[in-house]
Chain A
Amino acid sequence: MGSANKKYWKGIEELTEEPSFIEQSNKEFVDYVPVDNFMSEENALSTSNTSRRDFLKFLGFSVTAATIASCETPVTKAIPYLVKPEELNPGVANYYSSTYFDGNDFSNILIKTREGRPIHIEANKNLSGAGVNARVNSSVLMLYDSNRLQYPVDKSGEEVSWKDADKEIISALKAASAKGGKIRVLTNTIVSPSTQSIIDNFAGIYGGEGAADVRHISYDSISYSGMIAANSESFGKAFVPSYRFDKAGSIVSIGADFLSTWLSSVEYAGQYGKTRKPDGEMSKHFQFEAGLSVTGSNADHRTAVLPSEYGKVAVDLYNAVAELTGGTRTSGGGSPYTEAIQHAAESLVSMKGKSLVVCGSNDKSVQIVVNAINAALGNYGSTIDLNHPSHLRRGSDTDLKMLTDEMNKGQVDVLITFYGNPAWTSPSSLGFASGMEKVGMKVSMATYFDETSQLCDYTLPDNHFLEAWGDANPTQGVYALAQPTISPLYNSRQVQESLLTWMGQPQTSYDYIRAYWENNLFPTSGAVFFEDFWNQSLHDGIYTVSHDEQHEEPNFAADVSAAASAASSSKSSELELFLYQKTGIGDGQHASNPWLQELPDPVSKITWDNYVTMAASDMKARGFNLNLGQEQESDMVTVSVGDLVSEELPVVAQPGQKPGTIGIALGYGRQVWKNKEKIGVNAYPFSEMNGTVSYHRNGASITETGNKYHVAATQTSHTVMGRTGVIRETTLDVYKAGDRNDFNPVVALPTHEGLEAVKNITLWEPQNTEISGHLWGMSIDLNTCIGCGSCVTACNSENNVPVVGKDEVRRGREMHWMRIDRYYSSDADLEDKSISGYRSMEEPGSMPEVVYQPMMCQHCNNAPCETVCPVAATTHSNEGLNQMTYNRCIGTRYCANNCPYKVRRFNWFNYIADRKFTEFNPSQDDLGRMVLNPDVTVRARGVMEKCSMCVQRIQAGKLEAKKNSSKVEDGAISTACASACPTHAITFGDLNDKSSRIANHDAGDRAYRVIEDVGTRPNIVYLTKVRNKETAQA
Chain B
Amino acid sequence: MAGKVLYATYDDDHKLIEGAKELVGKGVYINTVYSPFPIHGIDPIIGIKRTRLAICAFIYGLTGLLLALLGFWYFMISDWPMIIGGKPNQTLFQNLPAFIPVTFEFTVLCAGHGMAITYLLRNWTLPFVQARNPYPYTTDDKFVMEIYPDYEHTKEDELKKMIESTGSILIEEK
A-to-B contact residues, CB < 8 Å:
764-767, 860-867, 872, 875-878, 1017
CA distance A876 to B86 in the complex (A): 8
What residues on B are CB-neighbors of A872 within 8 Å?
82, 84
- Residue of chain B at shortest CB distance from A868: B85
Q: Is the CB of A876 within 8 A of B83?
A: yes
Instruction: Convert B92-127 into 0s and 1s, putting 1 for each residue whose CB lies closer than 8 angstroms to a CB of A.
Output: 001000000000000000000000000000000000
CA distance A865 to B86 in the complex (A): 11
Q: List 23 A-B contacts (CB under 8 A).
A: A764-B87, A764-B88, A765-B88, A766-B86, A766-B88, A767-B87, A767-B88, A767-B89, A862-B86, A864-B85, A865-B85, A866-B84, A866-B85, A866-B86, A872-B82, A875-B82, A875-B84, A876-B82, A876-B85, A876-B86, A877-B83, A878-B83, A1017-B86
Q: Is the CB of A861 within 8 A of B86?
A: yes
CA distance A396 to B84 in the complex (A): 63
What residues on A are CB-neighbors of B83 within 8 Å?
767, 866, 875-878
CA distance A863 to B87 in the complex (A): 9
CA distance A628 to B84 in the complex (A): 38
Interface residues of B in 130-163 (CB under 8 A from A): none
Instruction: Convert B70-91 into 0s and 1s, putting 1 for each residue whose CB lies closer than 8 angstroms to a CB of A.
Output: 0000000000001111111100
CA distance A764 to B90 in the complex (A): 12
- Residue of chain B at shortest CB distance from A1017: B86
Q: Is the CB of A876 within 8 A of B84?
A: yes
Q: Which of A765, A866, A875, A877 contacts B94 (CB 8 A)?
A: A765
CB distance from B91 to the nearest CB of A (A): 10
Q: Is the CB of B85 within 8 A of A862?
A: yes
CA distance A863 to B89 in the complex (A): 15
CB distance from A1016 to the nearest CB of B (A): 9
CA distance A865 to B84 in the complex (A): 9
CA distance A764 to B98 in the complex (A): 12
CA distance A766 to B83 in the complex (A): 10
CB distance from B117 to the nearest CB of A (A): 28
What residues on B are CB-neighbors of A861 within 8 Å?
86
CB distance from A341 to the nearest CB of B (A): 54
Interface residues contributed by chain B, number (CB under 8 Å)? 9
CB distance from B75 to the nearest CB of A (A): 10
Number of A-B contacts (CB under 8 A): 40
Interface residues of B in 49-86 (CB under 8 A from A): 82-86
Q: Which of A867, A877, A878 contacts B85 (CB 8 A)?
A: A867
CA distance A872 to B75 in the complex (A): 12
CB distance from A859 to the nearest CB of B (A): 12
- Residue of chain B at shortest CB distance from A862: B86
What residues on A are CB-neighbors of B89 within 8 Å?
767
CA distance A314 to B29 in the complex (A): 121
Sample of 11 more A-B contacts, CB < 8 Å, known A860-B86, A862-B86, A876-B83: A765-B88, A766-B86, A861-B86, A862-B85, A863-B85, A863-B86, A867-B85, A872-B84, A876-B86, A877-B83, A878-B83
What residues on A are CB-neighbors of B94 within 8 Å?
764-765
CA distance A860 to B85 in the complex (A): 8
Helix, strand, loop or mixed for chain A's interface? loop
- Residue of chain B at shortest CB distance from A864: B85
What residues on B are CB-neighbors of A1017 within 8 Å?
86
CA distance A816 to B85 in the complex (A): 24
CB distance from B85 to the nearest CB of A (A): 3
What residues on B are CB-neighbors of A766 within 8 Å?
86, 88
What residues on A are CB-neighbors of B88 within 8 Å?
764-767
The 10 nearest A-B residue pairs measured at CB: A867-B85, A862-B86, A876-B83, A866-B85, A875-B82, A866-B84, A861-B86, A767-B86, A765-B88, A764-B88
- Residue of chain A at shortest CB distance from B80: A872
- Residue of chain B at shortest CB distance from A1015: B86
CA distance A767 to B89 in the complex (A): 8
Which of B85, B87, B88, B94 lies at the interface centre, i.e. has the most chain A CB atoms within 10 A of its CB? Answer: B85
What residues on B are CB-neighbors of A876 within 8 Å?
82-86
CA distance A764 to B88 in the complex (A): 7
CA distance A864 to B86 in the complex (A): 9
- Residue of chain A at shortest CB distance from B83: A876
CA distance A760 to B63 in the complex (A): 40
Q: Is the CB of B82 within 8 A of A867?
A: no
CA distance A416 to B24 in the complex (A): 123
What residues on B are CB-neighbors of A767 within 8 Å?
83, 86-89
- Residue of chain B at shortest CB distance from A765: B88
What residues on A are CB-neighbors of B82 within 8 Å?
872, 875-876
Which of A764, A860, A863, A875 lies at the interface centre, i.e. has the most chain B CB atoms within 10 A of its CB? Answer: A764
CB distance from A569 to the nearest CB of B (A): 67
What residues on B are CB-neighbors of A875 within 8 Å?
82-84
CB distance from B3 to the nearest CB of A (A): 54
CA distance A653 to B100 in the complex (A): 53
CA distance A867 to B94 in the complex (A): 15
CA distance A866 to B86 in the complex (A): 9
CB distance from B40 to the nearest CB of A (A): 47
CB distance from A15 to the nearest CB of B (A): 44
What residues on B are CB-neighbors of A877 within 8 Å?
83
CA distance A861 to B87 in the complex (A): 9
CB distance from A761 to the nearest CB of B (A): 13
- Residue of chain A at shortest CB distance from B95: A764
What residues on A are CB-neighbors of B86 within 8 Å?
766-767, 860-863, 866, 876, 1017
CB distance from A910 to the nearest CB of B (A): 29
CA distance A191 to B89 in the complex (A): 62
CB distance from B106 to the nearest CB of A (A): 16
What residues on B are CB-neighbors of A765 within 8 Å?
88, 94
CA distance A863 to B84 in the complex (A): 8
CA distance A651 to B161 in the complex (A): 104
CA distance A863 to B82 in the complex (A): 13
CA distance A867 to B88 in the complex (A): 12
Which of B83, B84, B86, B87 lies at the interface centre, i.e. has the most chain A CB atoms within 10 A of its CB? Answer: B86
CA distance A866 to B98 in the complex (A): 13
CB distance from A880 to the nearest CB of B (A): 10
CB distance from A352 to the nearest CB of B (A): 55
Which of B82, B83, B87, B89 lies at the interface centre, i.e. has the most chain A CB atoms within 10 A of its CB? Answer: B83
CB distance from A474 to the nearest CB of B (A): 49
CA distance A241 to B89 in the complex (A): 63
- Residue of chain B at shortest CB distance from A762: B86
Interface residues of B in 4-46 (CB under 8 A from A): none
CA distance A876 to B83 in the complex (A): 5
CA distance A865 to B83 in the complex (A): 12
CB distance from A633 to the nearest CB of B (A): 42
What residues on B are CB-neighbors of A865 within 8 Å?
85
- Residue of chain A at shortest CB distance from B91: A765
CB distance from A28 to the nearest CB of B (A): 36
CA distance A609 to B51 in the complex (A): 78
What residues on A are CB-neighbors of B85 within 8 Å?
862-867, 876
CB distance from A1005 to the nearest CB of B (A): 26
CA distance A765 to B95 in the complex (A): 10
CA distance A866 to B94 in the complex (A): 18
CB distance from A764 to the nearest CB of B (A): 5
CA distance A867 to B97 in the complex (A): 13
CA distance A206 to B82 in the complex (A): 75
CB distance from A566 to the nearest CB of B (A): 67
CA distance A260 to B152 in the complex (A): 116
CA distance A1034 to B61 in the complex (A): 67
CB distance from B95 to the nearest CB of A (A): 8
CA distance A860 to B86 in the complex (A): 9
CB distance from B41 to the nearest CB of A (A): 51
What residues on B are CB-neighbors of A862 within 8 Å?
85-86
CB distance from A718 to the nearest CB of B (A): 32
